[in-house]
Amino acid sequence: MSTEPNQSFFASRRGRRTAFWVGLAVLVAGVAAATIAFFGNTAEKVPETKSNEPAQVFTPRKQIPLEVAARRAAGRFLLTAVPRKNLAESYELTHPDLRQGLSKKEWLTGNIPVQYYPADNLEIATFKVDESYADEAIIEVALLPKKGEDIKPQIFFIGLKKVGAGESGKWKVHYFAPRAPPAIPNARE
């Protein structure tokens, strides 16, 4: 490559290459600008809709202390349906949502949509109320087996709904599932 002092910018290979890329960039920018100017926004215009109705604002439901009858229903459910003892009583404690269309005869077979846990080996079961309203509640229950048992402690969610109105309403279990921690992958496998 010669470095003569009188050599022009376009006489060198580097100068011509730089001019080519600058020109190409200007051409692309011009085509983009012309396309936007010519076509503009081709989307359909959506008419503004306004209403005279007042806005719907979320108002949280008022929580109340858990009724004793709800706690009692959850406790009886844990002693009947979960360990598969006295399934006839557990059928009466269960909401149709949890029964999933099973008849009482089918329920009594013990093949029910309730997680099994051997509740007859429990040392203690503690409740924590997550939500409690006049017609439904969500409770966490920790089932702790007796010492020396080969059973792991487990925490379950119990959802309850009140069927019927007022004092004559009965609490039924409509949801029962273990509270499982997220799976942690083993890096060694």
Domains and their CATH numbers in the chain:
68-178 (3.10.450)
Structure confidence at residue 63 (pLDDT): 93
Task: Provide the whole-model pTM.
Answer: 0.65
pLDDT on residue 140:
94
Split the chain (189 residues) into runs of 10 and give each run's mean pLDDT.
62 86 94 86 81 88 92 92 91 93 92 85 82 93 82 90 86 90 63
Residue 15 has a pLDDT of 85
Q: Looking at residue 36, what is its pLDDT?
A: 85
pLDDT at 5: 58
**Bridge partners for 162 per DSSP:** 171
**What pLDDT is stored for residue 42 in this prediction?**
76
Note the pLDDT of residue 174. Answer: 94
Smallest Cα–Cα separation from 155: which of 141, 145, 137? 141
